[in-house]
Amino acid sequence: MNAEDPDFIRTARASYDAMAPDYAAHVPDGLAARPVDRALVTAFGDLVRAQGTAPVADLGCGPGHVTARLDALGVPVFGVDLSPRMVALARRTHPGLRFHVGTMTALDLPPETLGGIAALYSVTHVPREHLPALFAEFRRVLVPGGHALVAFRTGDDDHQHLTERFGHELALDCYWYGAATISTLLAEAGLHPRARTLLEPEGDGKRQRAFLLARKPPREG
């Protein structure tokens, strides 16, 4: 743990470390049961492959099922997650794939190295005031023409502080952004919106989910 990490990083890391095995058991493969999500991840993979051979980073990869799905599609991919326990679990589950501990807010990557970024349900733990820097980081590491697929449970830009899940004590902040909020911030960071898909809530008390696809402009000429 880095003492200089901002609070939202330290609390998200500690919370996911506390619940990693239970979280993974609860969502064994979030894509297997969700054909629409799978189709969106597949379309993203197709777009990245059509652009070149630069790899995809699955940011906030959790147990690694999106990383594994992209790998199965023939996309060069690795996962990054804040939680060392989540990364250990992803490595055990997918021994042939690469997973790194790190924060998507400060990636240990040179500029213009990624053909794509998948960030599914991880921006939820980044406070509003840190989003412009996060999306500037996305733009920095993407190659020109690279795509970002950002998914999240939506809300009215409201906030929730979770103190318990699966019987574990947590201090996890969740920011429920509207699709328009994230879309606007991506565009302001120079990632141009290409598609916005809203998936209606799957039951009482569930939230709508948004998948936003954005692209860093290709180099001219």
Ligand X SMILES: C[S@@+](CC[C@H](N)C(=O)[O-])C[C@H]1O[C@@H](n2cnc3c(N)ncnc32)[C@H](O)[C@@H]1O
Binding site for ligand X (CB under 6 A): 9, 12, 16, 27, 30, 59-62, 66, 80-83, 86, 103-105, 120-122, 125
The nearest distance, CB 124 to ligand X, in angstroms, is 7
Q: Do 152 and 182 meet the contact criterion of CB atoms below 8 Å apart?
A: yes
Which C-beta is closer to ligand X: that of 16 or that of 211? 16
| Per-residue 3-state assignment (H helix, E strand, C coil) for 132-166 | HHHHHHHHHHEEEEEEEEEEEECCCCEEEEEEEEC
Which C-beta is closer to ligand X: that of 209 or that of 216? 209
Residue showing the smallest CB distance to ligand X in the complex: 62
The nearest distance, CB 220 to ligand X, in angstroms, is 32
Q: Do 196 and 179 meet the contact criterion of CB atoms below 8 Å apart?
A: yes
Beta bridge partners of 56: 77, 116
The nearest distance, CB 136 to ligand X, in angstroms, is 14
Which C-beta is closer to ligand X: that of 47 or that of 151? 151
Return d(Cα 160, Cα 215) in angstroms, integer: 30
The nearest distance, CB 28 to ligand X, in angstroms, is 10
